[in-house]
Amino acid sequence: MSTERTYLHAISAGLRQEMERDDRVFLMGEDIGALGGAFKVTDGFAEEFGSDRVRDTPIAEAGIVGAAVGAAIAGLRPVCEMQFGDFVACGFDQLVNVAGKMHYRLGLAVPLTLRLPTGGGFSGGPFHSQNPEAWFMHAPGLRVVAPATVRDAQGLIVSAIRDPNPVIFLEHKNLYRRVKDDVDDGEIFPTPLTARTVRHGSDLTIIAYGAMVHTAERAVAELDADIEILDLRTLVPLDEGAILASVARTGKVLVLDEANYTCAAGAQVASLIADRGFETLDGPVRRLAAPDVPIPFSPPLEQFVLPGDDAVKEAARGLLEY
Amino acid sequence: MGSSSTERLIDIVMPAMGTSVSEGTVTTWCKEIGDPIERDENVCEISSDKVDVECPAPAAGVLREILVEVGDTVDVGTALGRIGVADEDAASNEPAEADEAAPASRSEESGAETAAESGSEGATGSNDAPTDEDGNEPHVTPVVRRMADHHNLDLSKIEGTGRNERVTKKDVEAHLRASSDEPGEAQPPLDGESRDRPDPDQAPPPEPVAVAASAPSAAGEPQQLSRMRQSIGRAMLDSLATAATCTTIVECDMSAVEHARSRLGVTALPVVASKVIETLREFGSLNATLDGEMMTVFDDVHLGIAVSLGEEGLVVPVIRDAQDLSIEGLSKTIKKLARAARDKQLGPDDYAGATFTVTSPGAFGALIATPVINLPQVGILDIETITRRPVVVAEANGNESIGIRSMAYFCLSWDHRAIDGAYAAQFLTALRARVESI
């Protein structure tokens, strides 16, 4: 039997399964209880699991993350929601300096999951549209995952909760209700922290994650070429083997980021290819990302800033002709 | 000739190619009569039972005589040709002289030889200067250059379909498919020599074009096997007819190797090889040779490393006193030997005296193989491809779960005349324990 789930419901399903499976799993966040979360990911959870395990918190991200680190060290499995991923900046110190370094300093595991609703495309403006993954890729000790599909959304939230490390779980707001898929009923299995080949091809590899995977798929559907798409799924650890193998097959690569261009996740991917895939390249390593500006509120301006289908098609054509 | 009075002739002799080789066959003359030659420049190529070598010029001068034609076999020390060496500075009139000296009977095979030579020169030239200063020449990308080098292609002869008529990877692949003489794939390198390419376990599977293109050349015409193939064939048949070959296999978790490999910046082969060497020191009967009823067990490990020369064949250069080398040292030595073997820079002594052999065709994607023992050695270990597989993982507290691990099969062929299955299994499990706990 299978059920159609949205990306958002997949995250809910994964959370529900892990809460039922493991008493140590509990949720914290702003308005996640009675309101069910700003996006309704935890809708009904307070009724089902009680307010001890679905805890509303003050608007204080440093407090949420700090309390979660303490709970994790004490043996619980906290899952925290930042109402918008942008707000994680307030919890930065607890995350980067406390959670990420705990194991290295004291040998203590911090099995903490931090859900960040990220990304733009719906006129959220500069405080509600960011993609902050690169901040955390640069901080040792944190894992960073970014599902693009319904299946991976539910599988990766399960992986994140069971992981002994602090995991940043990037859920793309623009995929919440737009992406739907039939998934099997029954147990949700953890998704391995590896890249996924969306489609095989021999002319060009497009590397993306999160919402950009769908942008790539739409663009490729309109191009008359045999293009491979690699969905990274996890940024830390980065599946270097899959990246290099794909580029070795096609010889050409386009790396997509919805995040700002400089030092984005895709910059790390491009650097890896230049460093270790040089002799397999049959063209320049091309990147497409948002320019280094805050994401505008204005709908036409936002569409201009975010890498869209046409920009991807144009960049892909340039590489195919190269 | 006016210059002959100022010239003396020096013999080019069939070189001694190690203690066990007494004769050799000239396979190619790289120079024609009248060609100027630098000292130590390659004048001709020699093939023996065991090895192909280049014959360096004993002095600078002009090739005056060819005494042994291509295909003829002569004893070591026989004069193959003669170089005219100027007693005084006669270099200025050499070019004119070269034309004049060119005899009508330049040699029967000179036509074919010239073609081959100009082909290789063309390839080298175009690779050395892929771009013009003024940018008019379309440039050559890293992968195209590597493929051209590997297959010895002249890129100027391939039609480019890329921007500014650049020759693309696909153009090279199409060219290789079209020319039946060439292997039609960019073969992943042997584990031992990565040359800054991605590591072999990450190399892509060979592309399907290979099958069609590796068909015999000159469709349907029987062709004589090369000397190397004949030699390999004799040795392998001899081994199978002599040794009581058995193969024992263990499965090994390569996670620790992967980790060590990336930490040290080497391939998996030297990491595993170092553990093989350690384990061999404990299991002496596998670090041994068996000749009839006489078995010799060695303290030191002289490790044979199989190096593929592509379709041409396979050679096994030896790392002497391998127990004295660190992993990095092994890595460096393996790379050096593999490169030298491919460039035909090794002599027969570089191939003699191994006490055990390691082969790692894993880069080509095979899962399990039963290697043939390189007599008189007693064992050969085949390290196969590293793949991600689900395995039962036991935690320290005894809990078991299914995990995804990088796994590889180690296939040991051993001679039942020398040892028994229990010994082979003990060796492999000891090796596995070492490899998994690097």
Q: pTM for this one?
A: 0.53
Q: How many residues does chain A have?
A: 322
Reading phi first (left if > 0) and then psi (alpha if -120 to 50, else beta), residue B52 is in beta
Query: Which CATH superfamily hosts domain B227-436?
Result: Chloramphenicol acetyltransferase-like domain (3.30.559.10)
| Cα-Cα-Cα-Cα dihedral sign, residues A239, A242, A244, A246 | negative
Domain boundaries, chain B: 2-108, 227-436
- ipTM of the shown complex: 0.74
In single-letter form, the type of residue at position B155 comes to: L
User: Cβ contact (<8 Å) for B162 and A321?
Assistant: yes
> d(Cα B190, Cα B358) in Å, to the nearest integer?
12
Contacts of B143 in chain A (CB under 8 A): 251, 279-282
Residue-wise DSSP of B177-215: HH-TTS-SS-PPPPTT--TTSPPGGGSPPPPTHHHHHTS
Q: How many CB atoms lie within 10 A of CB A185?
A: 9
Residue pair B9/B81 in contact (Cβ under 8 Å)? The answer is no
CA A36 – CA B48 distance, rounded (Å) = 81
Predicted pLDDT of residue B25: 87
Least confident range from A12-16, A112-116, A241-245, B128-132: namely B128-132
Is residue A33 within 8 Å of A55, Cβ to Cβ? yes
Q: Is A9 a catalytic residue?
A: no
| Mean pLDDT confidence for A288-315 | 96
- For residue A218 the two structure tokens come to 């739409």
Provide CB contacts within 8 A for B52, sequence distance 6+.
Answer: B27, B45, B46, B228, B344
* Catalytic status, residue B154: no
The string of pLDDT tens digits covering residues B23-75 is 888 888 888 888 888 888 888 888 877 677 888 888 888 888 888 888 888 88
Is B162's CB within 8 Å of A278's CB?
no
Tokens of B319: 């790392």
Residues A293-301, mean pLDDT to the nearest whole number: 96
Q: How high does pLDDT run on average in chain B?
A: 78
Q: What domains lie within chain A, and their CATH numbers? A: 2-184 (3.40.50.970), 196-321 (3.40.50.920)
**Measured distance CA(A10)–CA(A17) in Å, rounded:** 11
Sequence-distant (≥ 6) Cβ neighbours of residue A314 within 8 angstroms: none
CATH architecture, domain B2-108? Beta Barrel (2.40)
Query: How far is C-alpha A247 from the geometric centre of its chain's CA atoms?
Result: 22
Sign (positive or negative) of CA dihedral B259, B262, B265, B269: positive
Tens of pLDDT, residues B116-145:
344 333 333 344 444 444 445 668 999 999
In the numeric block, which tokens belong to residue B304? 């044979």
The band of B18, judged by pLDDT with boundaries at 50, 70 and 90, is low
Chain B residues touching A321 at Cβ < 8 A: 162-163
Lowest-confidence segment of A84-98, A134-148, B232-246 by average pLDDT: B232-246
* Amino acid sitting at position B415: D
Q: What angle do CA A217, A218, A222 make, to 5 degrees?
A: 110
Query: What's the 3-state SS for A123-160?
Result: CCCCCCCCCCHHHHHCCCCCEEECCCCHHHHHHHHHHH
Q: How far is A252 from chain B (nearest CA, A)?
A: 10
In this structure, are strands A227-231 and A204-208 parallel, antiparallel, or unpaired? parallel
| Test the B interface: residue of A275, A280, A322 with most B CBs within 10 Å | A280
pLDDT at B407: 92
CA-based end-to-end distance of chain A: 47
The Cα–Cα gap between B176 and B171 comes to: 9
Question: What pLDDT, in 10s, does the model give residues B174-210?
Answer: 888 887 554 434 444 334 333 344 444 444 444 444 3
